[in-house]
C-alpha cells in the first residue's frame, strides 16, 4: 500500500516537472503563489518565532544554574538551536498546517468538481499547471520565511532574556557573536528547501487524487497535514544525521 | 467525424459499457439518451480520454485516439471543446479569464483579438457584459452558458456537451439547445450531446442514440422515435406525465 502510493507520487512528480506549455502563464502563477505562501504566512511565522526565541532563552537560563558557565552561553545556545532546529522545523510544521491544507483542499475541490478534467480536455498538463507553481513558490518563500523567523526568534530571545534579568544585553550579544559557525545557516536552508518540497508535493498529491465529494476533500486535507508533518520530522532527522 | 468501435468499460464488477459502436457526423448534433446511470457520461469520457476504455477504438477523422499517449493526444485535444455536467468552470477566475484560459495557453492571438473573441462568444451565449463576474456569482444556467462559451472559444472541431440543459427551465433549455445546434451547423462541428430531456430530443434530435443496459439499444431520428415499437425506448420516451396526458387525448 505504502509502495503503491509512493510509486504514484513519484509518477505524479514526473508529470509535474514536464516542460510547461507556456512559460508566461506559469510565471504569473508562481508570483501569485509566492504572495499566497510568503506574505500570507508572514504574520503567523513572526508571532511564533518571537515566542520560540523567548522560551528558548528563558529555559536555557533556567537550566544553567552553575556559576562556572558564563551567562553569555545563553545567547549562543539560543542562536544555534534556533538556526539549526527550531526555526526551520517548527515553521515548516506550522506551514504544513497552513499551506498544506489549503493546497490539498484547493486541488481536491478542483478534482471533484471536474475542473482538473476540464484542464486535461484542453490538452493542458494539469499536474504541471497546478502543482509546479506551488512547488517553485514554496522553494523560494519557505527559506525566506525561515530567515525572517531566525532573526525574530533571536530578537525574541534577547527581549525575554533582558526583560527577565536572566542575562544582560551585553552578555547575550557577546554570546551571539562568539563561535558562530556559518554552516548552521546552510543546514537551516537545506532543511527549509526540503521541507518546502515535502509540504507542497505531499499536499498536492493528496488533493490531486481525491475521489468523491466535499467529505473526501476534507479528509484529503487532513491527511496532507498529517503526512507532511511526519515526513518533515523524518527528513529533519535524516538531514541532521547526514550533515552534522 | 468521430468513429467509435466496440467500446467496453467496467468499474470493478460493474460493467457499464458492453461494446458500443457508432459514427458521429460533422454538422450534426448527435444526442445520446438513456436513463440515469446508463453510462452516457462514461461513454463520453471514454471518447475524450478522461476514462481509458477497457477495449475498443475511438478515431477522430481517421486519427486513432485510444492508442495515443497523453502528449500525443494534445493536438486532437486542442480541437475538442467540452461542456461538463457540472460546468467545471475554474472557481478562481472570472468569466472572462475562464474563456481566455485556453486562448492564452494555446493561441497566438494578440491581446485585442483575444478580447474580441471573448466578447464574441459571450454574446453568442447571451451573456454580453458579464465578463467580470465570478462563477460563484452565476446561476446554474449562466454557468452552463459560460461553459459553452469556453468550450467554443478555440473554434473546436468536436464539441461534447454533457447534459447542457439539466436544471434549467424549459425556455432557457430550448435556447441552449438551439444555440448548440446553430453553432454546430455554422462551423460544421461534430457535436455530441448527452441528455435525458425529451424536449431536446424532439427539438434537435436529428440523430439519436439510445443507451440501455450498457448497449446501443436503438438509433434513429426524432421523426422515428415516437413510432418505434422498441419497448424500452417507448418506456423512456413516454415516461412523463405530460406525454401520458397528451397520448390519452
Ligand atoms: N469513476 C467511477 N467509478 C466507479 N463507478 C463509476 C464511475 N463513474 C461512473 N460509474 C458508474 O457507471 C455507471 C454509469 O454512470 P454514468 O455517470 O455514465 O451515468 P449517466 O448515464 O451519465 O447518468 P446521469 O444521467 O445520471 O448523468 C453508474 O452505475 C456509476 O455508478
Ligand atoms: Mg451523466
In chain A, where the domains are located: 23-243
Predicted pLDDT of residue B80: 94
pLDDT-derived band at B198 (thresholds 50, 70, 90) equals confident
With a 6 Å cutoff on the Cβ, whether B11 touches ligand 1 is: yes
CATH code for the part of the protein at B2-79+156-248: 3.40.50.300
pLDDT-derived band at A162 (thresholds 50, 70, 90) equals very high
Judged by its nearest atom, the ligand closest to the C-alpha of residue A114 is 1
Residues 6+ apart with CB under 8 A from B77: A120, A121, A122, A123, B48, B49
- Residue B219 phi, psi (nearest 5): -145, 135
Query: Which residues of chain A approach chain B closer than 8 Å at the C-beta?
Result: 21-22, 25, 109-110, 113-115, 117-118, 120-125
Q: What is the pLDDT of residues A45-97, one digit of tens each?
A: 999 999 999 999 999 999 887 878 888 899 999 999 999 999 999 999 999 99
**d(CA B182, nearest CA chain A) in Å:** 23
**d(CA A118, nearest CA chain B) in Å:** 7
What is the arithmetic mean of pLDDT over B147-156?
93
Three state DSSP letters for B163-211: CCCCCCCHHHHHHHHHHHHHHHHHHCCEEEEECCCHHHHHHHCCEEEEE
Task: Write down the residue that cell numbers 494534445 correspond to.
Answer: B74
Q: Where are the beta strands (DSSP E) in B25-71?
A: 29-33, 55-60, 63-64
Answer yes or no: is pLDDT of B242 > 80: no
What is the arithmetic mean of pLDDT over A192-218?
97
Find which of A123, A134, A212, A214 to mutate to test the B interface (most B CBs within 10 Å of its CB).
A123
What is the arithmetic mean of pLDDT over B104-121?
93
Q: What is the pLDDT of residues B48-77, one digit of tens each?
A: 999 999 999 999 999 999 988 888 898 899
Answer yes or no: is pLDDT of B241 > 80: no
Answer yes or no: is pLDDT of B247 > 80: no
Q: What is the pLDDT of residues A31-43, one digit of tens each?
A: 999 999 999 999 9
Q: Which triple of cell numbers denotes residue A147?
A: 530567515
DSSP code per residue over A37-56? IIIHHHHHHHHHHHHHHHHH
Answer yes or no: is pLDDT of A194 > 90: yes
Residue nearest to ligand 1 atom 26, measured at CA:
B36
Chain A residue whose CA is closest to B48: A121
DSSP code per residue over B117-172? HHHHHHHHTT-TT-TT--GGGS-HHHHHHHHHHHHHTT--SEEEEESTTTTS-HHH
Domain assignments of chain B as residue spans, ordered by start:
2-79+156-248, 92-155
Answer yes or no: is pLDDT of B4 > 90: yes
3-state helix, strand, coil in chain A (%, to 5): 85, 0, 15
Residue nearest to ligand 1 atom 7, measured at CA:
B11
Distance between CA atoms of residues A186 and A10, nearest Å: 27
Asked whether the beta carbons of residue B88 and residue A117 sit closer than 8 angstroms, the reply is yes
pLDDT-derived band at B150 (thresholds 50, 70, 90) equals very high
Distance between CA atoms of residues B207 and A15, nearest Å: 40
Report the complex ipTM.
Answer: 0.89
Predicted pLDDT of residue A237: 97
Amino acid at each position: 500500500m505504502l509502495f503503491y502510493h509512493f510509486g504514484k507520487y513519484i509518477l505524479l512528480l514526473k508529470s509535474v516537472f514536464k516542460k510547461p506549455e507556456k512559460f508566461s502563464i506559469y510565471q504569473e502563477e508562481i508570483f501569485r503563489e509566492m504572495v499566497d505562501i510568503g506574505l500570507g504566512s508572514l504574520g503567523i511565522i513572526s508571532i511564533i518565532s518571537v515566542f520560540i526565541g523567548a522560551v528558548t532563552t528563558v529555559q536555557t537560563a533556567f537550566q544553567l544554574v552553575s556559576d562556572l558557565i558564563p551567562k553569555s552561553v545563553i545567547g549562543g545556545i539560543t542562536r544555534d538551536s534556533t538556526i539549526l532546529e527550531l526555526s526551520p522545523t517548527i515553521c515548516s510544521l506550522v506551514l504544513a498546517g497552513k499551506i498544506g491544507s489549503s493546497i490539498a483542499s484547493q486541488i481536491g475541490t478542483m478534482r471533484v468538481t471536474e475542473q482538473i478534467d476540464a484542464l486535461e480536455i484542453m490538452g493542458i498538463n494539469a499536474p504541471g499547471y497546478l502543482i509546479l507553481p506551488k512547488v517553485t513558490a514554496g522553494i523560494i518563500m519557505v527559506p525566506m520565511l525561515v530567515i525572517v523567523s531566525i532573526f525574530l526568534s533571536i530578537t525574541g530571545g534577547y527581549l525575554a532574556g533582558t526583560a527577565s534579568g536572566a542575562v544582560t544585553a551585553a552578555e547575550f550579544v557577546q554570546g551571539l557573536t562568539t563561535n558562530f559557525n556559518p554552516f548552521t545557516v546552510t543546514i537551516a536552508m537545506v532543511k527549509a528547501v526540503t521541507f518546502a518540497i515535502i509540504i507542497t508535493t505531499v499536499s498536492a498529491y493528496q488533493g490531486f487524487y481525491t475521489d468523491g465529494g466535499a467529505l473526501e476533500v476534507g479528509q484529503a486535507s487532513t491527511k496532507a497535514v498529517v503526512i507532511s508533518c511526519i515526513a518533515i520530522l523524518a527528513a529533519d532527522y535524516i538531514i541532521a544525521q547526514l550533515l552534522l | 467525424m468521430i468513429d467509435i468501435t466496440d467500446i467496453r468499460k467496467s468499474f470493478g464488477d460493474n460493467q457499464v459499457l458492453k461494446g458500443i459502436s457508432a459514427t458521429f457526423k460533422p454538422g450534426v448534433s448527435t444526442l445520446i439518451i438513456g436513463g440515469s446511470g446508463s453510462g452516457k457520461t462514461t461513454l463520453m469520457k471514454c471518447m475524450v480520454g478522461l476514462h481509458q476504455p477497457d477495449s475498443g477504438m475511438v478515431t477522430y477523422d481517421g486519427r486513432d485516439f485510444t492508442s495515443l499517449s497523453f502528449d500525443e493526444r494534445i493536438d486532437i485535444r486542442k480541437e475538442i471543446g467540452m461542456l461538463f455536467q457540472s460546468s467545471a468552470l475554474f472557481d478562481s477566475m472570472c468569466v472572462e479569464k475562464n474563456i481566455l484560459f485556453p486562448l492564452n495557453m494555446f493561441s497566438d492571438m494578440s491581446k485585442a483579438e483575444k478580447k474580441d473573441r471573448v466578447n464574441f462568444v459571450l454574446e453568442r451565449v447571451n451573456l454580453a457584459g458579464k465578463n467580470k463576474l465570478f462563477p460563484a456569482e452565476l446561476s446554474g444556467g449562466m454557468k452552463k452558458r459560460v461553459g459553452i462559451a469556453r468550450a467554443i472559444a478555440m473554434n473546436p472541431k468536436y464539441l461534447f456537451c454533457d447534459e447542457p440543459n439539466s436544471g434549467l427551465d424549459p425556455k432557457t433549455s430550448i435556447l441552449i439547445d438551439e444555440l448548440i445546434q446553430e453553432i454546430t451547423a455554422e462551423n460544421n462541428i461534430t457535436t455530441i450531446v448527452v441528455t435525458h430531456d425529451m424536449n431536446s430530443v424532439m427539438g434537435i434530435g436529428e440523430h439519436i442514440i439510445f443507451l440501455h443496459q450498457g448497449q446501443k439499444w436503438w438509433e434513429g431520428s426524432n421523426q422515428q422515435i415516437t413510432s418505434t415499437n422498441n419497448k424500452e425506448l417507448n418506456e423512456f420516451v413516454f415516461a412523463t406525465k405530460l406525454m401520458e396526458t397528451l397520448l390519452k387525448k
